[in-house]
Structure 1
Amino acid sequence: MEGAGEEARPVLLPPVQELAGQLGAAADVPARYVARAGAGNDDDRKATETALVPAIDLARLCQPGGDGGAADEASKLRLALQSWGLFLVTNHGMEASLMDAMMDASREFFRQPLQERQKHSNMIDGKHFQIEGYGNDWAPSESEEQVLDWTDRLYLKVEPQEDRKLDLWPTCLRDVLHEFTTGCTRVKDCLLPEMAKLLELDDGYFIDQFGGKADAYASVGGLQVLRDGVWYDVPTRPHTLLINLGDQIEIMSNGIFKSPVHRVVTNAEKERLSVALFYSIDPEREIQPADKLIDENHPALYKKVKIKEYIAGLYEHVARGEMVIETAKI
């Protein structure tokens, strides 16, 4: 996963922050940053409603013994996983001050002069792209066929800790990102067993799939979700986490849990800054629908896929505006 694309010689692209400062109107945005029709990007599917995304009280859901409202939280979690593929998490154990500090440190980094930000670049010697570091999308050529994200990001591997490339970690982020990652890992380790229980699988099923070397990447960079052909705005709440399922969970649950089609809409009036953690199974592992979910009445809907190959296909399909999960369906 980390080595993908390192032998390519991509076209150097200017930071989106610098481009945005030079533009006078939305019409000035370069064509390669404008989403094309298809893959849910049609202009006539603008969000007109707010998604009724369930909010899960994590402390109640995960309390020992399962009483005191745990069943109610589990019901809300099931609804979220089967309908929206995302949900909000409250009472998650992370202090508001930590979450504020994480956002403040992120803003501090992106407000540094470009020369300082580029000390953590995702370009090796200005020639080879690596997935970690500061920058934006890479383009294999001057062709505008590849649609690029209107964003700059700082993308760092945060777990396992021994795999961290600390030379890419800005000083202003190191301590708070470590603490934030620790808090998010506790949330993950609480949620995955509860998700397995909903499918009547062993509590450790999803945790075992991720294994002891689960990769976690932190990306610092108006979320909307597509459901039944309609785009919905995803609500936000202060100091609340938004959990978004990935394709890996949809495949392992045989489609019972949904990986949502989502997008971020730019705002011409103000900046958007988010901090996201992506958890992924070891790239060398293979996944498929859980055996206990397959029988004569419920055939497998997905093929066995190797994580490394699936991720490689993800980048290729996204560049073409296609959904890679369609390639895993039987």
Structure 2
Amino acid sequence: MVHGDQGKMVQEVAAELLNGGLPDRYVLSEEKRPNTTVAQPSCKLAATIPIVDVSRLAESPEEAAKLGSALQSWGPFVATGHGMSKEFMDEILDATREFFHSPLEQKQKCSNFQNEGYGVDRIDSDEQVLDWCDRLWLQLQPEDERRLQFWPQPLSECLICIGKQLLHEHTLESGRVTMEVLKAMAKLVGQKEDFFIEMVGERFKSYTRFTYYPPCPRSDLVNGLKPHTDNSVVLLLLMDKDVTGLQVLKDGSWIDVPVLGHDLLVGGDEGMEIVSNAVFKAPWHRVVTNAEKDRMSLAVFYQPEPERIIGPPGKLVHEERPPFFKRCLVQTLADGYWDAFAVGNRTVDFLNVRINDEAAVAKN
């Protein structure tokens, strides 16, 4: 059953606000509110997140070591040398902005009360505190499974559109970067370079999420996007070039991710944590809002074939490193993600996929 607030877009709520008052549905309890408003980026902040030149991973042991350190200690890293042109990245960000700034009736042609399409994230109850964002969620791969009825169409011939050609090109470019990262990750755990690629399968799924965060006059009271981890294998994120908002949890503190210009933020998620037997970590992250400016981002997620059963592979399980997760059907993980996300839990914990073995953890 679809909740009655499922069709209420945050962008419209923000446009109707008077005197800074917020609807109760978005206001966090005091202990869950962001501690501070996100500051604008600085050089010191930019140096915090590890930086990896993707173009050098195959040939440089030093660059590969930086990747390994980032994935094990942080989860995400800033990807330079990814090969996407600045012009192309600007085009897709401009198209994203144009879509969310287009008339509501035009955007509603892509609406869907399920996960895919234009809308807000799933609402399960009247008590659920809602995030301050709208999104467009589309499946990119396999190509023959694309649901084009939810893909935006141009408003006129003179306007940019997040349409088939632009999204197809982005799919190819993101896939190329992802494969290079997966090859390097396999070598880091002492395996052949197609080790993780074979686990994903030829008909792996990829999704893209365009997210729009309207300005919020009380950014100290809301989540742009609640703290969560993702259940994919690899995530590629193209962020707004002007406004910060993303934060990563590191050693118990929320760390601001600065604007990255034309660099990407890349990381492994829960799926990779499972198939690497917890060598690589899925980072907790959240988004806070800006009181004056809107913000956008574009994320691409990669998941193994849904009928596959994944778990820590035998080559990564031994006496010194026992399995940290049970074997699980990929589709079960995908289905459980939204339930876990709604309550602010990790999918592997929500579904009891993690092996709670204190002796195993101690050995790690």
Amino acid corresponding to residue 278 of structure 1 in structure 2? F
2:231 is aligned to none
Map 1:69-148 → 2, pairs under 5 A: 70-122=60-112, 129-141=113-125, 143-144=126-127, 146-148=128-130
Contact 2:111-2:117 at 8 Å conserved across structures: yes
Contact 2:115-2:122 at 8 Å conserved across structures: no
1:126 is aligned to none
Instruction: Indicate how the Cα distance of structure 1 residues 37 and 189 shifts in structure 2: closer, same or farther if over 3 A, else same.
Output: farther
How far apart in 1 are the matches of 2:28 and 2:331?
26
RMSD of aligned residue pairs (Cα, Å): 2.0
- The number of residue pairs the alignment matches comes to 306
Indicate yes or no: 2:135 matched with 1:153. yes
Map 1:142-221 → 2, pairs under 5 A: 143-144=126-127, 146-171=128-153, 172-174=161-163, 175-221=165-211
Instruction: Indicate how the Cα distance of structure 1 residues 308 and 36 shifts in structure 2: closer, same or farther if over 3 A, else same.
Output: farther
How far apart in 2 are the matches of 1:199 and 1:238?
31
Q: Determine which of 17, 20, 39 is the counterpart of 2:14.
A: 20
Q: Deviations over 1:100-133 (max 9, x none)?
A: 00001111111111001001111xxxxxx32211
Instruction: Indicate how the Cα distance of structure 1 residues 321 and 76 shifts in structure 2: closer, same or farther if over 3 A, else same.
Output: same
Structure 1 residue runs without a partner (length 5+):
1-7, 123-128
Q: RCO greater where, 1 or 2, for CA within 8 Å and sep 6 or more? A: 1
When structure 1 is superposed on structure 2, of 51-60 and 211-220 the one drifting more is 51-60
How far apart in 2 are the matches of 1:31 and 1:99?
37
Q: Give identity over the alignment, percent.
A: 43
3-state SS of paired residue (1:274) = strand
2:353 is aligned to 328
Amino acid corresponding to residue 201 of structure 1 in structure 2? Q
1:226 is aligned to 249
1:60 is aligned to 56
Contact 1:13-1:138 at 8 Å conserved across structures: no
Indicate yes or no: 2:27 matched with 1:34. yes
Tell me by how many angstroms 1:209 deviates. 1.2
How far apart in 2 are the matches of 1:284 and 1:305?
10
Structure 2 residue runs without a partner (length 5+):
154-160, 212-244, 356-364
Amino acid corresponding to residue 328 of structure 1 in structure 2? V
Q: Deviations over 1:36-95 (max 9, x none)?
A: 578xx4655887984721211111113xxx2xxx11110110111100000011111111
Q: Deviations over 1:7-35 (max 9, x none)?
A: x3332431100001112355x33333234
How far apart in 2 are the matches of 1:263 and 1:140?
20
Instruction: Indicate how the Cα distance of structure 1 residues 113 and 42 shifts in structure 2: closer, same or farther if over 3 A, else same.
Output: closer
Q: TM-score, normalised by structure 2?
A: 0.79
1:125 is aligned to none
Instruction: Indicate how the Cα distance of structure 1 residues 192 and 21 shifts in structure 2: closer, same or farther if over 3 A, else same.
Output: same
Contact 2:122-2:342 at 8 Å conserved across structures: no
3-state SS of paired residue (1:203) = coil
Q: Determine which of 305, 314, 324 is the counterpart of 1:291.
A: 314
Contact 1:109-1:117 at 8 Å conserved across structures: yes
Contact 1:158-1:181 at 8 Å conserved across structures: yes
Amino acid corresponding to residue 60 of structure 1 in structure 2? R
Instruction: Indicate how the Cα distance of structure 1 residues 115 and 42 shifts in structure 2: closer, same or farther if over 3 A, else same.
Output: closer
Q: TM-score, normalised by structure 1?
A: 0.87
1:5 is aligned to none
How far apart in 2 are the matches of 1:319 and 1:56?
33
Contact 2:122-2:338 at 8 Å conserved across structures: no
Amino acid corresponding to residue 207 of structure 1 in structure 2? I
